[in-house]
Structure 1
Amino acid sequence: MRKEKLNYYEIDQNAVKGMQELEGYVKDSEIESSLIELVKIRASQINQCAYCIDMHTKDAREAGETEQRIYGLSAWSETPFYSKREQAALAWAEALTRISENDITDEFFMEIREHFSEQEMVVLTTAIVAINGWNRLAIGFGNEVGTYKPELAK
């Protein structure tokens, strides 16, 4: 069990102000919140960020996601639970989260673009950038897993 090493938010709220602005931008977008939560969970699974997995599975349930779809995320490409749009978003999240392992070819990009407008691509990519940043903060400073409560985030 990981113990918190440092509470970066209490020490300096300005340290995460930009991250919070990114989150606000994504939240105010036209992309459905359930899709954003699926992307956040998947990136957090790849990064093995237990705190963010806990947080975003709770938020996904609040956004109406089913247990089956949440549990199936680690094998999303092998299940029938996700729409083509969701599959594209998850593929994009995986490619950007594992950026050093991937060659973002023109063909791959165009496959993703079939499901998202240019504006949505910017929002989706911003959401992926943000969750990867949050994962690094939570892992690096040891956020205490299990303490997140969705009702307090509203």
Structure 2
Amino acid sequence: MKTRFLMNETEPGAYAAMVAMEKYLSTTGIAPLHQEMIRVRASQINGCAFCVDKHSKDALKQGETTQRLLLLSVWRESPQFTEEERIILAMTEEITQISQQGLTDETYEKAVAAFGLNGTAQLIMAVNIINAWNRIGVSTRRIPGQ
């Protein structure tokens, strides 16, 4: 398998718009480690090897442990994740797998209680941004490590 093309070279305007969305995340109250957690989990679900590779490395640089990264796909059965992280991961899975049920009322209500309306909106945006990147990565066949 080889990369089909690089979006930043072929459609620089579209790529710049995505980068602007990514820059928005740096203005939010979402902890950098939680942002990486969202990125890795959504990328696992979407099968974007490039993004799993990139964001796992970024998470490790942010101080994430190898053990928690390895347990991320089974977070429901792992006591290593806080209640706030469990809400974030549930949101990530439900929004990423939107055709199954979408963001449930139960998870939404927990998110609003824990993060407020603005924090919940920011988390929804974070999940949507990585889902867009995943779709670009998978569609263009980005290769991990390149």
Aligned to 2:79, the other structure's residue is in SS state coil
Divergent runs of 4+, >3 A: none
- With normalisation by structure 1, the TM-score equals 0.90
Q: Is the 8 A contact 2:90 2:107 kept in 1?
A: no
Cα deviation, residue 114, structure 1: 2.1
Amino acid at match of 1:101: Q
The structure-2 alpha-carbon separation of the partners of 1:8 and 1:105, relative to structure 1 and needing over 3 Å to count, comes to closer
Confirm or deny that 1:86 pairs with 2:85.
Answer: yes
Distance 1:146 1:48, change over 3 A: same
| Deviates most, 28-37 or 93-102 | 28-37
Q: Which residue of 2 aligns with 1:36?
A: 35
* Residue identity in the other structure for 2:100: E
Structure 2 length-normalised TM = 0.95
User: 1:66-86 deviations in whole A, cap 9, x for unaligned?
Assistant: 101111100011001110000
Contact 1:52 1:135 in 2 (8 A): yes
Partner of 1:142: 141
The superposition leaves residues 12-69 of structure 1 with CA deviations (integer Å, 9 ceiling, x where unpaired) of: 2111222111111112212110011001100000001000000100110111111011
Give structure 1 stretches of 5+ with no counterpart: 148-154
Could you say if the C-alpha distance between residues 20 and 103 of structure 1 is closer, same or farther in structure 2, counting changes exceeding 3 Å?
closer
Q: Secondary structure at the match of 2:68?
A: helix
2:74 is matched with: 75
Structure 2 segments unaligned to the other structure (5+ residues)? none
CA drift of 1:106 comes to: 2.7
Deviation at 1:112, TM superposition (A): 2.3
> Cα RMSD over matched residues?
1.2
2:108 aligns to what?
Answer: 109
Aligned partner of 2:62: which letter? A
Q: Which residue of 2 aligns with 1:63?
A: 62
- How far apart, in 1, do the equivalents of 2:16 and 2:109 lie? 33
Counterpart in 2 of 1:25? 24
Deviation at 1:113, TM superposition (A): 1.9
How far 1:115 sits from its partner (Å)?
1.7
1:35-54 alignment, distance < 5 Å: 35-54=34-53
Question: 1:70 & 1:81 partners in 2: Cα distance?
Answer: 10
> Contact conserved, 2:91 with 2:103, CA < 8 A, in 1?
no
The percentage of counterpart residues that share the same residue type is 35
Kept in 2, the 8 Å contact 1:84–1:115? The answer is no
